[in-house]
């Protein structure tokens, strides 16, 4: 019973921390930013940490895409 209670508690915790769904406006904005990487990269709000994360994401996608081809 303790294992079941622990599993249910973990599921509840994960569901509380699940990202909310994006609105259509947010989806549209993200897609438009993806098509203009330079604007995102040079935006005043983009920190060095954001740039590192973006670069890692882009490199991962290139590797995965290249691997699948």
What was the pLDDT predicted at 17? 81
Burial of 40 (C-beta count, 10 Å sphere; 0-12/13-18/19+) = middle
pLDDT in tens, 29-65: 888 877 888 888 999 999 999 999 888 887 766 655 5
What was the pLDDT predicted at 68? 52
CA distance 55 to 50: 8
What average pLDDT is seen over the chain? 82
For residue 32 the two structure tokens come to 């438009």
- The domains of the chain are located at 23-69
Is the model's pLDDT at 25 over the cut of 60? yes
């Amino acid at each position: 019973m303790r294992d079941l209670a622990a599993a249910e508690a973990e599921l509840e915790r994960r569901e509380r921390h699940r990202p909310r769904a994006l609105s259509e406006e947010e989806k549209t904005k993200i897609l438009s930013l993806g098509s203009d990487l330079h604007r995102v990269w040079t935006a005043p709000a983009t920190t060095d940490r954001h740039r590192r994360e973006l670069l890692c994401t882009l490199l991962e996608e290139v590797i995965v895409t290249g691997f699948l081809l």
